Chain A
Amino acid sequence: MLAIVNGKMMPVSGDPIEGGAILIRDGKIAAVGKDLKIPSEARIIDADGRPVTPGIIEAHAHIGLGEAGIGWAGADVNESSDPVTAYARAIDGLNPLDTAFDEFRAAGITCASVVPGSGNVIGGTGLAIKCQGTIVDDMVVKNPTGMKAALGENPKGSYGRRKKLPSTRMGSAAVMRETLFKAREYLKKKDKAEGEDDVSKLPKHDKNLEALLPVLRGEIPLHIHCHRADDITTAVRLCREFEVPFVLEHVTEANHVIDLLKGADTHLAIGPTMHYGSKVENRERDFRTPVEVARAGIPFCLITDHPVLHGKYLTMSAGLAVTWGMDYDLALRSVTLSAAEHVGIADRVGSLEVGKDADIVIWSGDPLDYITFANYTIIDGEVAYQREVE
């Protein structure tokens, strides 16, 4: 049992509690509030009046797939052999000993949604993990969280260069449409065969179509990478055509299509904002996008797309968003509870509430100030990182 006392509790799901305490039992938050009764057997960490928040959540990262500091041997982000690799699973390529996890914990990041890259039109499933562990299966919060897909320059560049379909935006959309159509037909055939209890009517096993069934059934969303306004529009058009759930990643030009997104019943992951315009389609990456999306009331979270921007600068991004006009509470929510909602794990993490996982950070100061350190990072009720002060 662990207790954090004397902290400025910032639960995200409610108002801050000065001089508050959290009681942790069996890896879960057992109590949050002022004047809690702390059992004698509890190990006590005194937060010394400093801010305490839920663990930071990075909702779109390639950590473990694109490992730090080892080059090609650790590059497992894109299964670039075919534009459709729905069968690929991030869990099978994730190395929990990627040294970047040390940096994540030291930055207060307790949970990450790891997804395949955007080289393919359909790239494979992603998962959400806690940022501590040796065997990835032990770190899973949710698997799969969604099916990664991509539009825009990346797929057409990757395959067009090799003179393979797709080489244009039209081609990418056609590939996605064809695959979803085939998946729908595959599902119909399977349902029919099962309904008639006739094994002979089952369609021939197809590893891509099989992997897409949860999307077609509405169980997991498509996570669609798109930067430019027309690619965002195409993503929405395709998903409406097939009535599948979806969330949108990066959405650099989301502020060009506010009305479309308001009516789209979706969630946005915006970022990496602190990046240069590496392509034509992301030339407008600056804080205008998240500030205007926030103003329009469209649900969103902020992301770094680690390692495009290192995940440890997620709270820096949120802080800078505040200086550009975003509401502070919303900015903190965008890297905690909103990120959890984007990934579909808000029942487990994202706020300091009784019953949720004890993923908690004690900070040296304002959590959104880049000058602040994480003093303690706690995952599932255990201290995963403790800062050494010289």
Chain B
Amino acid sequence: MLAITNAKIHTMVGPVIEKGTIVIEDGKITAVGADVKVPDGAQVVDAKGRHVSPGIIEAHGHAGVYEAGNGWAGADGNEATHPITPQVRAIDGANPEDTSFADFRKHGVTAMHIMPGSANLIGGECFVVKHKEAATIDEMILLWPSGMKAALGENPKRVYGTQKKAPATRMGNAAMMREWLQKAKDYAAKKKKAAEDEDAKEPNFDMKLEALVPVINGEMPMHIHCHRQDDIATAIRIAGEFGVKYTLEHATLGHKVVDLLKENDVSCAVGPSMYFEGKVEVVGIGFDGPATLHEHGVHFCLTNDHPVIHARYLRVAAGQLEAEGVPGEDALKSITIWAAEHIGVADRIGSIEQGKDADLVIWSGEPLDARSRADVTMIDGKVVFERE
């Protein structure tokens, strides 16, 4: 049992507790508040007035499948040999020894949604990990599977179009995505019929379609990469046609179609906003975009798309969001609880509340101050990093 005392607690579910205590037992938060008593026998960690927040969450990253410092040998994030690869799984390519994970612990980033890249229209299955030190990736799993990566816009059409293969245009992107979702829908229907009717024939096994069945059945969301507002509209259009659950990833120009996002109650993971205008579809990238979403009440969180921008700089991104007028606590929510909600793990992490996992950080200063550092990072109630 552990108690963190004298902490300025950013719970993410209420006002900041100026001076409070957090009690942790068996990896869970059992109590948090200004008047919480330290139980007998608890090991006490005196925060000495420092800020404590939930661990930072990267809602859209590629750590482990695009490893730091390993070049081609560590590049396993895009199975760019066919535009539709729903059957591949990020978990089969994620290396827990990617040195980025140690970096994350040092900087208070405690969880990531690991996804295939955006070379393919349908890129493969995603999963969520905690940044624990572990010999196998399986020991780091928080949620598996979490969703199916998809992408529209320039990337798929560039990867395949430059090889003179389909898709070569945005029309091609949409048509192929639609074609495969339809095939998956038919396949799922055949399977359902075969299960119900003894005489009905099972469809021929198709691994790609098999992997899409949970998406078609609404059990698993699609995470659709799109930057420009027209690609956002296409994503919403296709998802609506098939009635699938989905989130939007990047949504860089989402602020241009705020009403559309609101109408469809879409959740967006916005970023990497610290990036430059390297492609046409990201012209206009910046923090005014998510600030606008915030203003209009659209569900969103921030992402650095690690490693495009290293996930350790998520606090810097949130600080920039605050600079655009978003209140500090909300900016912090955009890299904690709203990220957890976006990826479907808010029951476990993202806020400091009784019953949730003790994934916490004690900061040397204000969490959104770029000059602050993580002094203590904790996952499941265990200290995984401590600054000397």
Whether A and B touch directly in their complex, counting CB atoms under 8 A apart, is answered as yes
Contact in complex: B81, A160 (CB < 8 Å):
yes
Task: State in angstroms the CA–CA spacing of A279 and B76 once bound together.
Answer: 15
Secondary structure class of chain A's binding surface, majority of residues: helix
Secondary structure class of chain B's binding surface, majority of residues: loop
Contact in complex: B82, A170 (CB < 8 Å):
no
Closest to B67 in A: A280
Contact in complex: A173, B92 (CB < 8 Å):
yes
Contact in complex: A170, B93 (CB < 8 Å):
yes
Contact in complex: B135, A260 (CB < 8 Å):
yes
Comparing B94-102, B371-379, B380-388, the segment that makes contact with chain A is: B94-102
Known A-B contacts A181-B207, A280-B74; A228 and B81 likewise in contact (beta carbons under 8 Å):
no
Residues of A117-170 whose CB lies within 8 A of B: 153, 156, 159-160, 163-170
Comparing A49-57, A230-238, A308-316, A358-366, the segment that makes contact with chain B is: A230-238
Residues of A265-292 whose CB lies within 8 A of B: 279-281
A27 at the interface (CB under 8 A from B): no
Contact in complex: B95, A165 (CB < 8 Å):
no
Task: State in angstroms the CA–CA spacing of A169 and B79 once bound together.
Answer: 9
Contact in complex: A174, B207 (CB < 8 Å):
yes
Q: Which one of A174, A181, A237, A260 has the highest number of Cβ atoms from chain B below 10 Å of its Cβ?
A: A174
Q: How large is the interface on A (under 10, 10 to 19, 20 to 34, 35 or more residues)?
A: 35 or more
Q: A211 to chain B: closest CB distance in Å?
A: 18
Contact in complex: A177, B87 (CB < 8 Å):
yes
Contact in complex: B73, A169 (CB < 8 Å):
no
Checking B77, B82, B92 against A234 with a beta-carbon cut-off of 8 angstroms, the contacting residue is B92
Contact in complex: B71, A280 (CB < 8 Å):
yes
Q: B295 to chain A: closest CB distance in Å?
A: 39
B-contact 0/1 string along A244-270, CB 8 Å cutoff: 000000000000111110000000000
Contact in complex: A165, B81 (CB < 8 Å):
yes
Q: A64 to chain B: closest CB distance in Å?
A: 30
Contact in complex: A230, B97 (CB < 8 Å):
yes
B298 at the interface (CB under 8 A from A): no
A229 at the interface (CB under 8 A from B): yes
Known A-B contacts A165-B81, A168-B93, A169-B93; A156 and B76 likewise in contact (beta carbons under 8 Å):
yes
Task: State in angstroms the CA–CA spacing of A217 and B116 once bound together.
Answer: 34
Contacts of B23 in A (CB 8 A): none
Closest to B74 in A: A280
Task: State in angstroms the CA–CA spacing of A168 and B97 once bound together.
Answer: 17
Contacts of A256 in B (CB 8 A): 97, 135
A327 at the interface (CB under 8 A from B): no
Task: State in angstroms the CA–CA spacing of A163 and B159 once bound together.
Answer: 11
Residues of B158-188 whose CB lies within 8 A of A: 163
A-contact 0/1 string along B35-74, CB 8 Å cutoff: 0000000000000000000000000000001000011011
Contact in complex: B73, A174 (CB < 8 Å):
no
Known A-B contacts A181-B205, A260-B135; A174 and B88 likewise in contact (beta carbons under 8 Å):
yes
Known A-B contacts A163-B81, A167-B79, A168-B79; A177 and B135 likewise in contact (beta carbons under 8 Å):
no
Contacts of A169 in B (CB 8 A): 65, 76, 92-93
In the complex, besides A156-B76, A167-B78, 10 extra interface pairs with C-beta distance below 8 angstroms are A163-B80, A165-B82, A167-B80, A168-B77, A177-B207, A228-B95, A230-B95, A233-B135, A233-B137, A260-B136
Which 7 A-B pairs give the minimum distances between C-beta atoms? A173-B92, A280-B73, A170-B93, A169-B93, A168-B76, A169-B76, A170-B88
Identify 17 residue pairs between A and B in the complex whose beta-carbon atoms are under 8 Å apart, listed by A's number.
A165-B79, A168-B65, A169-B92, A170-B76, A170-B88, A171-B79, A171-B88, A173-B88, A173-B93, A174-B92, A185-B205, A229-B96, A233-B138, A237-B138, A257-B135, A259-B135, A260-B136
